[in-house]
Amino acid sequence: MKLSALVALAGTFVVLTEGLVAQSGLDPFGSRRRATGAPVAPVFEGWEPNGDGTFSLYFGYQNRNWQEEQDIPVGPNNFFAPGPLDRGQPTHFLVNRRKLVFSVVVPKDFGQQTLVWTLISHGSTETVPGKLSPILQIDTKKDEKNVAPVLSLGPEQTIVLPRPATLTATVTSGRGGGRRSRLTIAWEKYRGPGMVTFTDAAPPVKDGRAVTSATFSEPGVYVLHAFADEGSRGDATQSGGIPGFLCCWTNAQLTVVVKASDQGGGR
């Protein structure tokens, strides 16, 4: 991973993580977690330059609960500043630590500016700044052992209740060959008004394809999130036992418009 020598040091990982997690003082190793009732903390993971001169700021989160998933809609309790409030962040938060969930692209002249993500839940306000600090530059595509795979989820879907959505992902090795047996994909709810149930949230990848289905509890616009990996999330030795460090998996999202049976229009 292309981190500076400072960040690459194992001891520095703890210090850096504490500085990037929400400023209320979250313990990155989870000693403050509860079953329910604890807030969600936003995390700034780092940044990398893009080929067009812009920059990608990467964010994740830690839900301090090990049982309670939380929904925090975009608005006064889930927003970025300066605006727009909606920068593509999740509104559904799974339990425990979720790394490099999404990125925000900032312009070439972002310079010394700061982009702050705020989450308010269970009466606690958690904020984290994203900025182009030199020691926070990362490479999310490859490290010494791993390469991020190539992932495609296909076009937006529209379905009518109670019909399920068929989810077909194309997952191929970023290496261009070899170690394909390590390819995995996992689905989760990212946004949406109701519950999402996957037939298999981690379907096997066969011949570069993984197929599953999802059912929805109520109509609305849903965003489903998938991440594909070629083994790096299982390599926990770099990060104090937390699977994966900052490389190398691929995130993608699929919008599913779910209509009530009296609305029609499904396909």
pLDDT in tens, 159-217: 999 999 999 999 998 776 545 568 899 999 999 999 999 999 999 999 999 999 999 99
| pLDDT at residue number 143 | 75
Same domain (yes/no): 12, 126: yes
pLDDT of residue 205: 94
Count of domains observed in the chain: 2
Q: What is the rounded CA–CA span in Å between residue 28 and residue 43?
A: 10
The verdict on residue 209 lying in a domain is yes
More confident residue, 2 or 43: 43
How are beta strands 157-160 and 249-259 bridged, if at all? Answer: parallel
Same domain, 93 and 213: no
Task: Name, in order, each residue with C-beta under 8 angstroms of 69's C-beta and a sequence gap of 6 or more.
Answer: 63, 92, 93, 94, 95
Confidence tier at 44 by pLDDT (50, 70, 90): very high
- Asked whether residue 74 falls in the same domain as residue 194, the answer is no
Same domain, 11 and 132: yes
Question: What pLDDT does 12 receive?
Answer: 34
| Residue 19: pLDDT band with limits 50, 70, 90 | very low
CA 150: distance to chain centroid?
A: 16
Q: Is the pLDDT of residue 219 over 80?
A: yes
- Residue-range definition of the domain harbouring residue 130: 5-136
Distance CA 175, CA 146 (A): 9
Pure H helices in the chain: 5-8, 10-20
In a domain, 264, yes or no: no
CATH of the domain at 179: 2.60.40.3450
Q: Is residue 143 part of a domain?
A: no
Residue 54 has pLDDT above 90, yes or no: yes
Regarding whether 179 and 254 lie in a shared domain, the answer is yes
Mean of per-residue pLDDT scores for the chain: 84
Q: Is pTM, for the whole model, over 0.85?
A: no
Note whether 36 and 98 are same-domain residues.
yes
Whether 265 maps to a domain, the answer reads no
